[in-house]
């Protein structure tokens, strides 16, 4: 039986994709409810679900009520069998790799760090291949896909890293290199966009047509989902919240002036406080007014930029995360105050969620991209 069932999820039609993605992101859910949410008839839902049940990707939660093969009652909720397939995700930074194995619902099963001694392309490919080989061993027969997240300008379609400032890479065909080295189906994505995909499918973005995911840390990034779709920009650039000018004469590395990133990124805080980040956080927490002011200005700048973004596109929710938010006790009040003062009218109703970002979340985002890629065949 196991030998004859399909290796991969049988997404063979638009209806199959719709039904499977609905159960994946919103299940357990009854066939009737799937029909209501997707506009498909109950018969179409039943027909579309059957191959997924047969292939082991979906199950009926009360299967003891089934009266014959494939004749499940419509009221039986459909649920994903999360361990039917596993997905690898790797985030590349300039000094390490973070790798995870996730199940179909993007739950992390195992996470591992791997230090990088070089960012030369062959060294990164070799290290990543070794990390993947290590991670995949217990899952080999049920893992076929690898998602990789990199900061910078990534062409998802061709699998090319066009430009990554932190890695100092230009036009690196990383997707092809990794596919050859690992034998897996590889999907590349910008790291902030990958986190946004994870949030859209498995987090605060489920059932929401517009939201923003903002990351605060080394850089300040933003993934925008509007009308249910990630905004990519006509010229390949969008979500550059870090380069929204918020009224300060601070020059930014981008050539602009007063950018949020020039005030609130980790390196900006370090420069303005005149000490390493850990020391700045400790001093601010112990009450040093000068250092507290640096965090207050950073929080104020972030709050203004969030309000600018929300006044323009009116998202339902904003999630602010990133390694910088580890110190969010120093930021949060100032972020919220500036946001509320500058939000126009009903924009103030936008739900603003601040939360820390465990580093493995970036790798989980990469895995989520490879789950989403199931639907792109």
Query: What six digits make up the tokens of 2?
Result: 């196991």
Residues 323, 266: contact at Cβ < 8 Å? yes
Omega within 30 of 0 (cis) for the link into 44:
no
Residue 203 CB, shortest distance to a second copy, in Å, is: 17
Binds a second copy (CB under 8 A): choice among 341, 355, 376, 377: 341
For tokens 């303005």, what's the residue? 272
Query: What six digits make up the tokens of 197?
Result: 């995909």
Of 9 and 216, the one with the shorter C-beta distance to a second copy is: 216
Of 7 and 257, the one with the shorter C-beta distance to a second copy is: 257
Binds a second copy (CB under 8 A): choice among 209, 271, 278, 279: 209
Which parts of 314-359 fold into alpha helices (H)? 328-342
The span from the CA of 307 to the CA of 196, in Å, is 19
Binds a second copy (CB under 8 A): choice among 44, 222, 298, 320: 222
Residue 316 CB, shortest distance to a second copy, in Å, is: 4
Task: Name the segment binding a second copy (CB under 8 A); options: 1-9, 76-84, 177-185, 340-348.
Answer: 340-348
Binds a second copy (CB under 8 A): choice among 241, 281, 291, 327: 241
Query: What six digits make up the tokens of 317?
Result: 């929710």
Of 124 and 214, the one with the shorter C-beta distance to a second copy is: 214
Query: What six digits make up the tokens of 3?
Result: 């030998």
CB-facing half-sphere around the CA of 373: CA atoms within 13 A: 24
- Asked if 233 interacts with a second copy (CB under 8 A), we say yes
Binds a second copy (CB under 8 A): choice among 274, 312, 329, 377: 312
Residues 63, 10: contact at Cβ < 8 Å? no
- Asked if 311 interacts with a second copy (CB under 8 A), we say yes
Residue 161 CB, shortest distance to a second copy, in Å, is: 15
Binds a second copy (CB under 8 A): choice among 314, 326, 353, 358: 314
Q: Give the x/- contact pattern for a second copy in 151-170, rule: CB under 8 A.
A: --x-----------------
Of 55 and 208, the one with the shorter C-beta distance to a second copy is: 208
Binds a second copy (CB under 8 A): choice among 170, 257, 278, 279: 257
- Asked if 366 interacts with a second copy (CB under 8 A), we say no
Task: Name the segment binding a second copy (CB under 8 A); options: 96-104, 117-125, 262-270, 303-311.
Answer: 303-311
Residue 137 CB, shortest distance to a second copy, in Å, is: 41
Query: What six digits make up the tokens of 314?
Result: 């009116």
Query: What six digits make up the tokens of 77?
Result: 């909720």
Binds a second copy (CB under 8 A): choice among 43, 75, 133, 237: 237
User: 203 to each of 29, 107, 206, 320, 364, how far by Cα in Å?
Assistant: 17, 11, 6, 13, 12
Which parts of the chain fold into alpha helices (H)? 14-26, 31-38, 42-54, 121-136, 174-182, 191-202, 261-264, 266-273, 277-285, 289-313, 328-342, 360-372
The span from the CA of 126 to the CA of 128, in Å, is 5
Residues 161, 177: contact at Cβ < 8 Å? no
Binds a second copy (CB under 8 A): choice among 84, 258, 283, 285: 258
Give the footprint of a second copy on this chain (CB under 8 A). 153, 208-210, 222, 224, 226-227, 229, 231-241, 243-248, 254-259, 304, 307-309, 311-316, 341-342, 344-347, 349-350
């Amino acid at each position: 039986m196991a030998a004859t069932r399909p290796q991969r999820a049988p997404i063979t039609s638009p209806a199959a994709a719709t039904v499977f993605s609905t159960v994946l992101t919103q299940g357990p859910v009854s066939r009737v409810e799937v029909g209501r949410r997707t506009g498909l008839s109950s018969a179409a839902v039943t027909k579309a679900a059957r191959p997924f049940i047969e292939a082991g990707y979906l199950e009926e939660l009360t299967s003891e009520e089934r009266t014959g093969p494939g004749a499940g009652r419509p009221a039986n909720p459909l649920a994903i069998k999360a361990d039917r397939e596993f997905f690898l995700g790797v985030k590349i930074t300039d000094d390490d790799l973070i790798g995870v194995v996730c199940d179909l619902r993007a739950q992390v099963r195992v996470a591992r760090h791997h230090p990088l001694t070089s960012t030369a392309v062959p060294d990164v490919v070799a290290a990543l291949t070794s990390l993947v080989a290590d991670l995949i061993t217990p899952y080999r027969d049920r893992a076929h896909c690898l998602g990789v997240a990199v900061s910078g300008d990534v062409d998802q379609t061709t699998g090319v890293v066009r430009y990554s400032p932190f890695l100092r890479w230009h036009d690196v065909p990383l997707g092809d290199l990794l596919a050859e080295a690992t034998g897996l189906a590889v999907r590349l994505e910008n790291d902030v966009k990958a986190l946004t995909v994870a949030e859209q499918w498995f987090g605060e973005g489920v059932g929401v047509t517009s939201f923003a995911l903002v990351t605060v840390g080394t850089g300040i990034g933003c993934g925008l989902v509007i009308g249910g779709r990630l905004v990519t920009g006509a010229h390949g650039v969008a979500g550059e919240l870090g380069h929204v000018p918020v009224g300060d004469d601070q020059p930014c590395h981008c050539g602009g002036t007063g950018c949020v990133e020039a005030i609130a990124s980790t390196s900006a805080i370090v420069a303005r406080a005149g000490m390493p980040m850990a020391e700045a956080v400790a001093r601010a927490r112990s009450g040093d007014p000068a250092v507290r002011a640096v965090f207050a200005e950073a929080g104020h700048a972030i709050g203004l930029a969030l309000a600018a973004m929300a006044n323009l596109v009116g998202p339902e929710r904003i999630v602010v995360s990133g390694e910088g938010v580890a110190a969010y006790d120093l930021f949060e009040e100032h972020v919220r105050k500036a946001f509320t003062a500058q939000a126009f009218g009903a924009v103030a109703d936008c739900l603003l969620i601040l939360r820390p970002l465990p580093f493995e979340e970036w790798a989980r985002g990469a895995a989520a991209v490879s789950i989403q890629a199931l639907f792109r065949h």
